[in-house]
Chain A
């Protein structure tokens, strides 16, 4: 009956504590997704491993050609970080649009990835940048590509005695990116569809455009025709929207389980119909090449 609570402060303690986790144990990062599950009885942990005192896991630092984001960095922290804002704008934008201020203050990037909710806003961005995820396990730290971290079935490859320690993103000076999402309201909203795009700016042209679309499948889906959004024409936007609508329709028709909240035909077809909206939003953003402003901090310098 009794529950144990561990709150390591050092790597040594953390490694030791990790080995004590059982099938029923939980790793508590920000707790924003986990706590409601515990409260509703979906989880009855025998042991909590809380990472809140692991200061090392909160740092955001440059390491050579990579930016290393500690798994315990909160969304607010990430959205205000000058490096992230400048080189990983889509991620900063995504972080600044997660939940409410309270959730952004508490929820962590590592927690979001470990939770791997299909509606999560962070995973598509990490896919977009070709990020790596560092995992601490029995044999120390290993690093995996984000795309292999999230399995085809939507689960992560995290084992019972493992946790995410950091996210590595490749620093590329000339790459730009943006993130747009469509929720059901303006703020504090869960993505129905999210879209993140990155590109290289060369001679006033947008090249090497990449894109991922989130919340339409159990994993982020690659937007193979992202280049259309660099062409700056109504026709190419329409084509991009139509392509994505088709893609979502395909995913829907292959799905065996429908969302329990979507009852009417109109609700089931909503995403493929509405995707046009965020395609145009993203294209507008790319066209304007807006600088992303939410905080007061200066832009980062390498």
Chain B
């Protein structure tokens, strides 16, 4: 096996020093002379038309620079989900709309010289509404008599998918299950923040945002303001976590608009309440899964149907729903498949991008179903999966592309062994016999995820590298580090190729002024796609340096070897030239700089494999579920940052626990009010709730990825919740599939039942 110098080493995060000392400046930390602060005013009706906005008192408050509302902002629509300038998007959102579609929606904004003044001024604004009947639930909104939220009705169908024919599929056993997933908040620790500064002297707008797509933000803002893209600069600021909430363009259009109008430097930082209500939530979803299974446990057919609540604006929801279907066949071999979905707009806060974009939903519906099938057929869940999983390089039938070097079997077998699946199964039974109060159970689930955009869209990944006079290296890549270490991964890749220390490599994150085009860092593509581009770029620039070295040394480049920043002749090692000497020769003698701009297009999308095994204890007296132990097994190809991969697996476990057991943003079924707007009432697993989990990485290299890497960022959360659900059901002998399984839900299920 190849020995790497930095790839696979545990070197922590690129900005770890800056972060442990509090020196890294996030967008909300930025201060400047004369900076103005924006605050939003939230609407008080779930559905209505604004008759009048009275800003007089607010404007009279000293320090207030402007008040914006539907009375004085353009009647132009944009779309927060847009990335490509040419993308076909719903375009339903305005800076301020007279038509208010959910309770808490922004209805006005104040810009002032301090955030306190802005907040005070917001309270002085009065808004008169004409209330309209609100459709809070999907059922109400889908009803014929429901008022349409937008011009085109409330129900949006998603193209269905057929492979084979589910209806005529054979299989002795037919099963049907229904699952429900509640809304969640991403809970990125940094609330959304944006700074925009307009310089009138150069007619240039600069935006700082801890976003996932600077080019997506730019296309939306520049078009909205009618400015040439070249004069709008978007800089990716340090990001205090995303989990999907930084993927869409939320604060930037409004902040940029104010900065331009006022010719000022304006900052908008959300409160936690705004973060929960006014960004987006994870979709609430209802799904039905049907299957036909043969006696021996082979899957003959699968049908999945789901309905997503989009909230008040469609935004990305149609794509999100169809992605659930597109991910349906990445794990199992199924000769007959049917998928259909619909999205419904309701008078509730917007739902949108969330870590894994459909994989979690798909896995919850599917894995809950398989685990129920196993319980009903008396099959072991691991054995059932071993019969049905795809082999490496097998074709996935939705996109008709190979799944790559993916190892479901190894994940299952290793996981079963390390978790001591059989032993735990017996131990649970024993403990259940020994006492009455607590029920113990085990569960598992299997999942996959993507590594690139292919073939959803052309995956464009570019990198520029420039050797500096001292042999150090500057790389520009349109990367957006979420904090999970992708900058470190890029640096390691460059360092491994260039054989220079990490301290000699400067890597600039996405900045529309300096980076080549990139869609953005989502779909877990960063290391696989951008990493490959960085790798090729460095290989190329090293080749250019080799050619220069050959010229300088007066020999063919085929005679030259390279080690640790120096070229030398293999036969005559004293004849050597260092990188600084190469660059000097190149500039001084040849009159050329050494740089390279590289663009790659991923032509594959290798799947990753993830199996999660868990043991729970359910307190039948209180309904509380405790995770006793769990194991996450991940086939992610070569781990560039194994330390940070494990950290991310931990976050997947935390979020999966939340999805399964406790996290839910409740909306009042009548008023449409968001009932949970703070962390006091949002139950999230803390340091005491997390079990002492185990992680296992299976590092079979993927040939098409840089140094064999695939992806990790999103798949970590995917199998966790369905495994926990299975364990709870195993413990209680139930078939609970309405998440989250809160203590109240569990006690309700146990009412009158002997377990």
Contact across chains for B686 and A270 when beta carbons are under 8 A apart: no
- Identify which of residues 173-217 in chain A touch chain B, using a CB-to-CB cut-off of 8 Å: 182, 184-188, 190
List residues of chain A with CB within 8 A of the CB of B619. 277
Tell me the bound Cα distance from A19 to B626 in angstroms. 52
Contact across chains for A185 and B689 when beta carbons are under 8 A apart: yes
- Identify which of residues 214-267 in chain A touch chain B, using a CB-to-CB cut-off of 8 Å: 260-261, 263-267
Q: How far is the CB of A245 from chain B (nearest CB, A)?
A: 11
Scoring B residues 721 to 749 as 1 if CB is less than 8 Å from chain A, else 0, what string do you get?
00000000000000000000011110110
- Identify which of residues 579-627 in chain B touch chain A, using a CB-to-CB cut-off of 8 Å: 619, 621-624, 626
Given A266-B747, A270-B743, A185 contacting B623 (CB threshold 8 A): no
Contact across chains for B688 and A186 when beta carbons are under 8 A apart: yes
Contact across chains for A274 and B623 when beta carbons are under 8 A apart: yes
Main DSSP-derived SS at the B contact region: loop
Contact across chains for B688 and A187 when beta carbons are under 8 A apart: yes
Contact across chains for B668 and A280 when beta carbons are under 8 A apart: no
Q: Which of B621, B686, B744 contacts A188 (CB 8 A)?
A: B686
Q: Which of A187, A263, A273, A276 contacts B751 (CB 8 A)?
A: A273
Interface size class of B (residues with CB under 8 A): 20 to 34
Check if B681 is an interface residue, CB within 8 A of chain A.
Answer: yes
Contact across chains for A190 and B680 when beta carbons are under 8 A apart: yes
Minimum CB distance partner of A186 in chain B: B688
- Identify which of residues 668-694 in chain B touch chain A, using a CB-to-CB cut-off of 8 Å: 668-669, 675-676, 680-681, 683, 685-689
Contact across chains for A274 and B621 when beta carbons are under 8 A apart: yes
Contact across chains for A263 and B683 when beta carbons are under 8 A apart: no
Check if B662 is an interface residue, CB within 8 A of chain A.
Answer: yes
Tell me the bound Cα distance from A274 to B668 in angstroms. 24
List residues of chain B with CB within 8 A of the CB of A185. 662, 683, 685-686, 688-689
Tell me the bound Cα distance from A218 to B123 in angstroms. 32
Scoring A residues 267 to 279 as 1 if CB is less than 8 Å from chain B, else 0, what string do you get?
1011001101110
Given A188-B686, A277-B619, A261 contacting B676 (CB threshold 8 A): yes
Given A187-B688, A264-B744, A273-B751, A41 contacting B123 (CB threshold 8 A): yes
Contact across chains for B675 and A186 when beta carbons are under 8 A apart: no
Contact across chains for B688 and A274 when beta carbons are under 8 A apart: no
Tell me the bound Cα distance from A246 to B271 in angstroms. 42
Scoring B residues 221 to 234 as 1 if CB is less than 8 Å from chain A, else 0, what string do you get?
00000000000000
Tell me the bound Cα distance from A273 to B753 in angstroms. 13
Contact across chains for A263 and B668 when beta carbons are under 8 A apart: yes
Check if B19 is an interface residue, CB within 8 A of chain A.
Answer: no
Given A260-B675, A276-B621, A277-B621, A270 contacting B747 (CB threshold 8 A): yes
Contact across chains for B681 and A261 when beta carbons are under 8 A apart: yes
Scoring B residues 300 to 335 as 1 if CB is less than 8 Å from chain A, else 0, what string do you get?
000000000000000000000000000000000000
Contact across chains for A266 and B748 when beta carbons are under 8 A apart: yes
Check if B437 is an interface residue, CB within 8 A of chain A.
Answer: yes
List residues of chain A with CB within 8 A of the CB of B748. 264-266, 269
Check if B540 is an interface residue, CB within 8 A of chain A.
Answer: no
Check if B204 is an interface residue, CB within 8 A of chain A.
Answer: no
Q: How far is the CB of B752 from chain A (nearest CB, A)?
A: 11
Tell me the bound Cα distance from A261 to B745 in angstroms. 14
Q: Which of A41, A265, A266, A274 contacts B622 (CB 8 A)?
A: A274
Given A273-B751, A274-B623, A277-B619, A187 contacting B686 (CB threshold 8 A): yes
Q: How far is the CB of B60 from chain A (nearest CB, A)?
A: 13
List residues of chain A with CB within 8 A of the CB of B623. 270, 273-274
Minimum CB distance partner of B673 in chain A: A260
Given A41-B123, A266-B748, A267-B744, A277 contacting B622 (CB threshold 8 A): yes
A residues lining the B interface (CB < 8 Å): 41, 182, 184-188, 190, 260-261, 263-267, 269-270, 273-274, 276-278, 280
| Beyond A185-B688, A273-B623, A273-B747, 14 extra complex contacts between A and B, CB < 8 Å | A41-B123, A185-B662, A185-B683, A186-B688, A261-B666, A261-B676, A261-B681, A263-B668, A264-B744, A269-B747, A274-B621, A276-B622, A278-B622, A280-B621
Q: Could you list some 25 contacts between A and B, CB below 8 A? A: A182-B622, A184-B662, A184-B742, A184-B743, A185-B662, A185-B683, A185-B686, A185-B688, A186-B688, A190-B680, A260-B668, A260-B675, A261-B676, A261-B681, A263-B675, A264-B744, A267-B744, A270-B623, A273-B751, A274-B621, A274-B623, A274-B743, A277-B619, A277-B624, A278-B622
